[in-house]
């Protein structure tokens, strides 16, 4: 079952609200760690180590000029699918995502018409929030400047084994910047062992595509061309139940801290954003929420208690939900353990259904042939798989999912109080 993704309307936020982070003019600020022009590019050998986890920094740079609504919708649709691919890697990844936008005149010339929507963060709900708040506005789209901002102004992992990726997507020539050379930015990136991948929104035989190819080639990245307005959505028989499980997972969170209600409300808001697209997006988000990459120790007591440095006794009573404040530390820990156990059981159900869903999607994509190969998520996933393997990551070996005709044992899904999803939330 598949259908063409229609344009999604009524997204909140204006470019004017997306205030860019001020920097000096791009032509004046050198890239950090840039080697001399005549320096040879260092060889990047595959890394094989016994580390229990390894950093992955993923930076997504989107053109938000007037013609790019289709690109934004494709990114919204497929954010969770890309994260889910990362969750299949081993060693276990420590994923951080950053979102940059470029091409909006309201960002201002001093910023290079670039805005950092989020720095590198493991708060995936904030990334989703910023992504859904974007709107388009015509302007100058300078690929070189968005890459430079990513290199200069993000706090990249210092882990020498980290996989560091930039994806830049747009439809104007990548070489049109009158001040900065896009090829020089690619060289500066790979000198810092940061791979730059490019996604050209147009036909790959167009003359404009050549610059995008070269930007990727010089930074050891991959080039892909997509039709941004014909993104494909593949719906599955498992999506509805995964959506129900996503809501049930929310009941296992125990928000704490001064910003607990803001975080909890945003978790529900991003459920709403995914479900407003279609069940496929909502199901993919559920798979992310049940994975090891969706971890929120700064806001959730269940996740916080998994951190060795966290001390439950240090949490102030006023930073707890009102119904928890009268509990002793011992009783509070029992409640946390109960929620952790419940979450683990739900995660197992999601994993079983998720395997079947993934196999269904892959089979349907093969039926689409060339159209499936040009989908936004497909080109990103292909790049991630290849480049992760080059850094020593492998994919987890898991048991095959039950065949489609074999029904997964359906355990009762505990649902929250019956009310529309947009009215839900945590204390």
pLDDT bin (cut points 50, 70, 90) of residue 368 is confident
Q: Give the mean pLDDT of 32-58.
A: 53
**Whether residue 187 is found in the same domain as residue 285:** no
Whole-number pLDDT of residue 406? 43
Length of the chain: 427
For residue range 309-328, what is the model confidence (pLDDT) as tens digits?
Answer: 999 999 999 999 999 999 99
Distance, C-alpha 9 to centroid of its chain = 21
Q: Give the mean pLDDT of 280-287.
A: 97
User: Would you call 124 helix, strand, or coil by DSSP?
Assistant: helix
Q: Does residue 156 carry a pLDDT above 70?
A: yes
Of 43-57, 64-78, 108-122, 372-386, minimum mean pLDDT range = 43-57
Whole-number pLDDT of residue 139? 78
Q: Does residue 8 carry a pLDDT above 80?
A: no
DSSP code string of 15-41: GGGSPPPP---TTTSPPTTPPPTTPPP
pLDDT bin (cut points 50, 70, 90) of residue 423 is very low
Residue with the two structure tokens 């929120």: 296
Does residue 396 fall inside a structural domain?
Answer: no
**Whether residue 92 is found in the same domain as residue 224:** yes
**Whether residue 224 is found in the same domain as residue 101:** yes
**Whether residue 273 is found in the same domain as residue 417:** yes
- The count of domains in the chain is 2
Does residue 192 fall inside a structural domain?
Answer: yes
Does residue 138 fall inside a structural domain?
Answer: yes
Of 142-156, 180-194, 223-237, 401-415, minimum mean pLDDT range = 401-415
- The per-residue pLDDT of the chain, averaged, comes to 83
pLDDT bin (cut points 50, 70, 90) of residue 186 is very high
**Whether residue 74 is found in the same domain as residue 220:** yes
Does residue 285 fall inside a structural domain?
Answer: yes
**Whether residue 252 is found in the same domain as residue 355:** yes
Whole-number pLDDT of residue 426? 53
Strands, DSSP E only, in 36-162?
Answer: 53-63, 89-90, 92-102, 114-121
Does residue 127 fall inside a structural domain?
Answer: yes
Does residue 284 fall inside a structural domain?
Answer: yes
Which of 231, 249, 281 represents a domain boundary (last residue)? Answer: 231
Q: What does the alpha-carbon distance between residue 340 and residue 107 come to, in Å, rounded to a whole number?
A: 43
Q: What does the alpha-carbon distance between residue 388 and residue 371 come to, in Å, rounded to a whole number?
A: 25
CB burial string 342-372: b at 16+ within 10 A, e below: bbeebbebbebbbbbbbbbbeebbeeeeebb
Does residue 290 fall inside a structural domain?
Answer: yes
- Predicted structure pTM score: 0.81
pLDDT bin (cut points 50, 70, 90) of residue 48 is very low
C-alpha angle 252/235/294, rounded to 5°? 30
Whole-number pLDDT of residue 11? 29
For residue range 381-417, what is the model confidence (pLDDT) as tens digits?
Answer: 889 999 999 989 998 765 554 544 444 444 455 544 4
**Whether residue 188 is found in the same domain as residue 304:** no
Whole-number pLDDT of residue 372? 60
**Whether residue 78 is found in the same domain as residue 158:** yes
Whole-number pLDDT of residue 365? 86
Q: Return the CA Rg of the chain.
A: 22
Task: Pick left, alpha or beta for residue 95 (phi over 0 → left; psi -120 to 50 → alpha; otherwise beta).
Answer: beta
**Whether residue 106 is found in the same domain as residue 202:** yes
**Whether residue 197 is found in the same domain as residue 261:** no
For residue range 246-275, what is the model confidence (pLDDT) as tens digits?
Answer: 999 999 999 999 999 999 999 999 999 999
Report CA-CA distances (Å) from 317 to 43, 52, 298, 312: 53, 35, 16, 11
CATH number of the domain enclosing 183: 3.40.50.410
Which of 209, 231, 253 represents a domain boundary (last residue)? Answer: 231
Q: Give the mean pLDDT of 272-282.
A: 96
Residue 423 sits at φ, ψ, to 5 deg, of -100, 0
Q: What does the alpha-carbon distance between residue 53 and residue 74 come to, in Å, rounded to a whole number?
A: 30
**Whether residue 184 is found in the same domain as residue 277:** no
Whole-number pLDDT of residue 235? 94
Which of 231, 249, 282 represents a domain boundary (last residue)? Answer: 231
Does residue 389 fall inside a structural domain?
Answer: no
3-state secondary structure 141-177: CCHHHHHHHHHHHCCCCCCCCCEEEEEEEECCCCCCC
pLDDT bin (cut points 50, 70, 90) of residue 373 is low
For residue range 163-178, what is the model confidence (pLDDT) as tens digits?
Answer: 999 999 999 999 999 9
Whole-number pLDDT of residue 185? 97
Whole-number pLDDT of residue 191? 97
**Whether residue 240 is found in the same domain as residue 356:** yes
Q: Does residue 143 carry a pLDDT above 60?
A: yes
Q: What does the alpha-carbon distance between residue 146 and residue 61 come to, in Å, rounded to a whole number?
A: 7
Q: Which domain holds residue 260?
A: 236-361+411-423
Of 65-74, 96-105, 264-273, 403-412, minimum mean pLDDT range = 403-412
Tell me the two tokens of residue 373. Answer: 């190969």
């Amino acid at each position: 079952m598949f259908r063409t993704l229609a344009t999604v309307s009524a997204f909140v936020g204006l470019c004017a609200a997306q205030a860019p982070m001020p920097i000096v003019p791009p032509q004046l600020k050198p890239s950090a760690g840039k080697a001399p022009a005549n320096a040879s590019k260092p060889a990047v050998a595959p890394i094989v180590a016994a580390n229990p986890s390894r950093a992955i920094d993923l930076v997504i740079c989107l053109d938000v000029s007037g013609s790019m609504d289709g690109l934004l919708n494709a990114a919204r649709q497929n954010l969770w699918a890309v994260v889910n691919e990362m969750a299949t890697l081993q060693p276990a990844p420590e994923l951080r995502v950053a979102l940059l936008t470029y091409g909006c005149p309201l960002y201002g010339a001093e910023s290079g018409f670039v805005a950092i929507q989020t720095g590198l963060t493991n708060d995936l709900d904030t990334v989703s929030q910023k992504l859904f708040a974007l709107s388009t506005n015509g302007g100058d789209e300078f690929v070189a400047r968005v890459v430079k901002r990513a290199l200069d102004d993000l706090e990249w992992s210092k882990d020498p084994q980290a996989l560091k990726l930039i994806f830049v997507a747009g439809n104007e020539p990548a070489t049109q910047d009158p001040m900065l050379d896009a090829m020089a930015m690619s060289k500066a990136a790979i000198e810092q062992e940061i791979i730059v991948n490019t996604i050209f929104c147009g036909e790959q035989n167009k003359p404009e595509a050549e610059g995008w190819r070269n930007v990727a080639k010089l930074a050891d990245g991959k080039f892909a061309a997509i039709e941004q307005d014909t993104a494909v959505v593949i719906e599955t028989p498992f999506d509805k139940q995964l959506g129900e499980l996503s809501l049930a997972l929310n009941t296992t969170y125990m928000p704490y801290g001064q910003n607990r209600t803001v975080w909890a409300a945003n978790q529900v808001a991003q459920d709403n954003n995914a479900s407003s697209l279609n069940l496929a997006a909502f199901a993919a988000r559920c798979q992310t929420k049940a994975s090891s990459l969706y971890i929120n120790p700064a806001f959730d007591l269940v996740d916080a208690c998994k951190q060795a440095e966290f001390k439950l006794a240090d949490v102030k009573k006023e930073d707890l939900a009102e119904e928890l404040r009268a509990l002793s530390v011992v009783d509070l820990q029992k409640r946390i353990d109960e929620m952790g156990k419940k979450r683990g059981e739900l995660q197992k159900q999601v994993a079983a259904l998720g395997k079947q869903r993934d196999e269904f999607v892959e089979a349907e994509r093969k039926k689409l042939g060339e159209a499936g190969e040009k989908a936004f998520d497909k080109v990103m996933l292909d790049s991630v798989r290849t480049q992760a393997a080059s850094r020593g990551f492998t994919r987890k070996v898991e048991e095959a999912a039950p065949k489609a005709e074999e029904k997964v044992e359906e355990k009762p899904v505990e649902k929250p109080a019956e009310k529309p999803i947009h009215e839900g939330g945590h204390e």
